[in-house]
Amino acid sequence: MSVRRRSLLAGALALPFVARAQTQETWEQRKERLLHEDFPELSRYAADNQRILAAGEKVNIVFMGDSITEGWKSKRPGFFTPGRVGRGIGGQTTPQMVLRMMADVVHLKPRFVHIMAGTNDIAGNTGKMTREQSYDNFRMMAQIAKSNGIGVILAAVPPADHFPWRPGLDVVGPIREINAWLQGYAKAERLTWVDYTNALGDAKGAMKPGLASDGVHPTEAGYDAMATVIEPILKARHA
């Protein structure tokens, strides 16, 4: 067998192993790769955004957020009736969401945007962040929306007393601190404020039993509890 034929054969035999290695990329590896290749993950919803625009679908509200928002769509798809669009991406921080505002919100021309973030800022998923940096990102998201005629529904950071991926980190205090600022900002800027804390959390700041799978991410029952809070607000705004 010639050298060339042996090389071709070896390459062909290696293909299944290469393909298998590519499909075995873990969630953590994918996130690390995207941090360098597509920091805001604009590629995540690019095709669906194009589909919505091409079809001329009417968008009433976009839900912008992290894994808690992403899980809402997967665990309670019935909540996302026509006109409600989910744009949550697991693990994301507020700077990533700021960079997604144009593509994933503004270009869809919704009447409202529901912004729920902050959990991963506290966790430092994309690096250590100060509170003021997080607040600036909330300001930017709200101002981008308002300048494009989009009403802002600003949501509290959901309760949690620990983050499984950041053992030992104090989270109750930071969540309460950010929520106090968000509520004050919403009032000052005349944004709609929605607080899921009482529906989801106990007096100590933890998720109520049965409402979260890991103390952070809501179960189906958790999303049902959230719906009791947000649905009256959406119905009042025909969203």
Say yes or no to pLDDT of 48 above 80: yes
Nearest CA to 89 out of 106, 67, 116 is that of: 67
Which DSSP string corresponds to the chain? --HHHHHHHHHHHHHHHHHHHHHT--HHHHHHHHHHH-TT-TTSSHHHHHHHHHHT----EEEEESHHHHHHHHH-GGGS-TTEEEEE-TT--HHHHHHHHHHHTGGG--SEEEEE--HHHHHTBTB---HHHHHHHHHHHHHHHHHTT-EEEEEPPPP-S--TTSTT---HHHHHHHHHHHHHHHHHTTPEEE--HHHHB-TTSSBPTTSBSSSSSB-HHHHHHHHHHHHHHHHHTT-
| pLDDT tens per residue across span 63-80 | 999 999 999 999 999 999
| pLDDT tens per residue across span 163-188 | 999 999 999 999 999 999 999 999 99
Question: What ranges do the domains of the chain cover?
Answer: 1-37, 40-236
* Residue predicted with more confidence, 29 or 67: 67
| pLDDT tens per residue across span 143-165 | 999 999 999 999 999 999 999 99
Confidence at residue 22, expressed as pLDDT on a 0 to 100 scale:
52
Say yes or no to pLDDT of 1 above 60: no
Say yes or no to pLDDT of 98 above 60: yes
- 40-236 CATH: 3.40.50.1110
Confidence at residue 23, expressed as pLDDT on a 0 to 100 scale:
63
Confidence at residue 17, expressed as pLDDT on a 0 to 100 scale:
39
